Amino acid sequence: MKQRNYYKAFLRPFLFQLPAETAHNIALWGLSAMAHLPNQSIFFRDLFKIPEIPTECFGLHFPNPVGLAAGMDKWASALPVWESLGFGFSEIGGVTQHEQPGNSGPRMFRVRSHQAIINRMGFNNPGADLFAEQLEEWVERSLWPSHPVGINLGKSRVTDLEKAPSDYLYSFQKLRKYGDFFVVNVSSPNTAGLRSLQEKSALSRILEAIMLANTGSLRRPVLVKVSPDLDESELADILQVSFEFGISGIVATNTTSSRPTLHKRPPAATYSENGGLSGAPLELRSNQVIRFLYKESNGKMPIIGVGGIRDLKSAMEKFRNGASLIQIYTGLVYEGPMLIIKILNGMVEYMKREGISDLRELHPKI
């Protein structure tokens, strides 16, 4: 029997009457409150009946390959609840060395005609020191999730571009004992000059600083998050630098500055807002980048695919193009938490039907 999506039927109509950022903050406040409840993990797992699809990637065990993308939980205020909702891993942040409020509002917009969101948040976050205190609180309360937790690292707005390596390094060292893996975000379109750090020499300096410190018992997988707006030569440069410094994987992709359209119906007026576009219009370009990176690396660089996942079909396309893991953000806003369970159940059914044990068996032939 088909399960009713109570989020879409009742909660979403209310939230979508509110400005996008207000709705986001209300939803996150509710999830944060749930995260503090005793036995909330058991309650949600019994309610959703979360299937397992064990996946090994860059030396970590994932109960399933569907994760929460960065940007949803910038303060780690709801950290324990993401596992309870069915995610196989969560990526929190982005976090910068210095606390910063981000860009002035309004700075988040829905494009309902395209199941998309445009944001120009600007790395609003509490800074690495306060972020570490929040993470320590979850540890002390024995509420730390058992699934892998990634931490997304950005550059502080007040830090000059030439001093970016020390900014990233500070946050990495401050948070290293908490994160299971780290994502170097040099691809957000909402911090002036940040995307220039994807250039070969600039990225090399950042990765060199981090990897020189990434030794000993607290050595962590480090990944790089790339922009969908790069061309193939730029993506190839990032792969070369990543292999040179022993990077464990690539997150593809961040939001786009372009405005692709999905159909003949004109998009909502908000489509002209400045900022990074996420959601359904990003799917095609995200898949193209994933396929290029997979083939260019001969399948040797694990990829986390993100961009436009809103149902089982769009999730499976990420694996067919070369992703080993996937992440969701905008799809969660439009479809609610049942999206995770629907995707996981669909994956399990597909794997049984096709007789495969790992979704990476769908990767393109090289």
Show the DSSP H helices in 188-298 as ranges.
200-213, 232-244, 283-296
Residue with tokens 């990003």: 282
SS3 94: strand
CA–centroid distance for 222 within its chain = 14
* Catalytic residue check, 272: no
CA–centroid distance for 53 within its chain = 19
Q: Terminus-to-terminus CA distance in the chain, angstroms?
A: 41
- CA-to-CA distance for 76 and 150, rounded, in angstroms? 11
- Count CB atoms within 10 A of the CB of residue 26: 14
SS3 116: strand
| From 84, 171, 188, 242, the catalytic residue | 188
Residue with tokens 């600039």: 202
Helix axes 338-354, 40-48, angle to 10 degrees: 50
Name the residue among 130, 117, 139, 46 with its Cα closest to residue 84.
46
Sheet holding 116-119, edge to edge: 108-111, 116-119, 276-279
SS3 108: strand
- CA-to-CA distance for 230 and 262, rounded, in angstroms? 21
CA distances from 18 to 22, 116, 120, 195 (A): 6, 16, 18, 31
Element (H, E) at 131: helix 128-140
Residues with active-site annotation: 188
